[in-house]
Structures are given as structure tokens and as C-alpha cells.
């Protein structure tokens, strides 16, 4: 069965600290897609990144970086030099290559960046 | 701004009532998805439409139904409302029905059932 686990319910850091948000997934498919979304206090869900199961290259986008490791079924997200505007709930999601194409979301990690 | 619009933004109603939530996908997107976000259940997939046809169903109650119209906008109908239906309802759209397409989410409709 497919599942996404975000074990960290809430993380608080001080501005400029680096922070890593963990995501562990389960799937029987060999083809699947992983996503990260940000939900700021305003409520909308903002797409951050997509990664497919055949591409284990890590990705960096500004202060954001993602570490995908199939061996441990993890897709972790690191924010470098965090800022107050990074405060939000972050969701990891899984979409399988076969079947319904729905997203299975983790429970989210609330990140609080303190000034 | 994702390009996905949802109306209304807020909805307050009573138990037993029926409401309709509306979603307009991004220009050119054929797939529409509905999700429910509640405190106890998290973000749950409800249903997907692609170019007017139902493609997938998730944890959608029988009291809930949806459709996608020829102009591609979608409506989610919730009937016989219960207190537990209070939640944030998101609509998302994507270019196709393929799983690799990222979904772009609307701002959500916050439903409060009193």
C-alpha cells in the first residue's frame, strides 16, 4: 500500500539556521513521482518540486535543496539560511505511475522560523 | 497565483443542508482534482475528472458528488451536511491525467457546518 510519512509534526528554528524536513514513502510501483508543496498561513498550496523515481539526482533551487534516496525511500527537503517567510506547513506527496494518479499526502510538517 | 480559481472562499451553513463548490482550472488544463483538508484526516483525495469524465475516486462520501462541465470548470456538491464535513476543500488542476504532472491548487473553500 502507498503511504507517505512525515514524522516531524512541528519544527522551530531561528532565522538563518538550516533545517531539513523528512519524508519517507512506501509504494510497490517502480515508477512513481514525489512532490513537495508549501502551505503558508494564507492557506493555498504552492508547488515546490517534482521528482520521478528514475532520477535520483539531488536538486538545488536557491536556498532549497532536495535529497532523493531510493535505497531508504526518502525524499528530504532542506532549507538553507531559513527566513521568517519560510514559516509554513510543508507537505510531501506521492503519485504512483499506475492507477489513479491521485496524490497521497503526508501529514505535513509545520515549520516556524523565529526572527 | 496558481491560475486555479475557487468560489466561494468561505461558506457557512447548517447541518442537513446542501452546498456547491465551484472550481475553474488553469487555462488549458483538462484534469481537475478535489481534495478535502481537515484537522483529523489531513489532505485527502476525493475525486478526479479529466475532460468531463470521472477518472478516479478516493475517499469521497456518497453524500458528495462532482462533475466537470464542457467548459472544464468543475463543481463539488455536498449534501446532508454534517458537522464533520467542516473542512478546507481544494480544487487542483493539471495539464493531463498523468501522474507526473504537478497539480496546481486553488486557494480553497473553507466550509463551516454549524
Cα B22 from Cα B12, distance rounded (Å): 15
Instruction: Give tens-digit pLDDT for A73-90.
Output: 999 999 999 999 999 999
List the Cα angle A52/A54/A55 in 5-degree steps.
Answer: 70
How distant is the Cα of A15 from the closest Cα of chain B, in angstroms?
26
Cα B3 from Cα A63, distance rounded (Å): 25
Instruction: Give tens-digit pLDDT for B60-114.
Output: 999 999 999 999 999 999 999 999 999 999 999 998 767 677 889 999 999 999 9
Nearest to B68 by CA among B55, B56, B50: B50
Per the CB < 8 Å rule, is B98 touching A37? no
Residue B18's pLDDT band (cuts 50, 70, 90): very high
B10 touches chain A (CB under 8 A): no
Mutation target vs B (from A44, A96, A98; most B CBs, 10 A cutoff):
A44
Residue with grid cell 535520483, as numbered in its chain? A56
Instruction: Give the H or E element holding residue B47.
Output: strand B42-50
C-beta separation of A96 from A65 below 8 A: no
Amino acid at each position: 500500500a502507498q503511504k507517505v510519512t512525515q514524522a516531524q509534526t512541528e519544527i522551530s528554528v531561528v532565522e538563518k539556521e538550516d533545517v531539513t524536513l523528512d519524508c519517507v514513502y512506501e509504494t510497490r510501483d517502480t515508477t512513481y513521482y514525489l512532490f513537495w508543496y508549501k502551505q503558508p498561513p494564507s492557506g493555498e498550496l504552492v508547488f515546490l518540486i517534482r521528482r520521478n523515481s528514475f532520477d535520483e539526482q539531488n536538486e538545488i533551487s536557491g536556498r532549497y535543496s532536495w535529497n532523493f534516496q531510493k535505497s531508504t525511500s526518502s525524499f528530504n527537503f532542506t532549507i538553507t539560511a531559513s527566513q521568517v517567510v519560510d514559516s509554513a506547513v510543508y507537505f510531501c506527496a506521492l503519485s504512483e505511475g499506475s492507477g489513479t494518479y491521485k496524490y497521497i499526502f503526508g501529514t505535513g510538517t509545520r515549520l516556524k522560523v523565529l526572527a | 497565483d496558481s491560475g486555479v480559481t475557487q468560489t466561494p472562499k468561505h461558506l457557512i451553513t447548517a447541518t442537513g443542508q446542501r452546498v456547491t463548490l465551484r472550481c475553474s482550472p488553469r487555462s488549458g488544463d483538462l484534469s481537475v482534482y478535489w481534495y478535502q483538508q481537515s484537522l483529523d484526516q489531513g489532505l485527502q483525495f476525493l475525486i478526479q475528472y479529466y475532460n468531463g469524465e470521472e477518472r478516479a475516486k478516493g475517499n469521497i462520501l456518497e453524500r458528495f458528488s462532482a462533475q466537470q462541465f464542457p467548459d472544464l470548470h468543475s463543481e463539488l456538491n455536498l449534501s446532508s451536511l454534517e458537522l464533520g464535513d467542516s473542512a478546507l476543500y481544494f480544487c487542483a488542476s493539471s495539464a493531463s491525467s498523468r501522474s507526473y504532472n504537478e497539480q496546481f491548487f486553488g486557494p480553497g473553500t473553507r466550509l463551516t457546518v454549524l
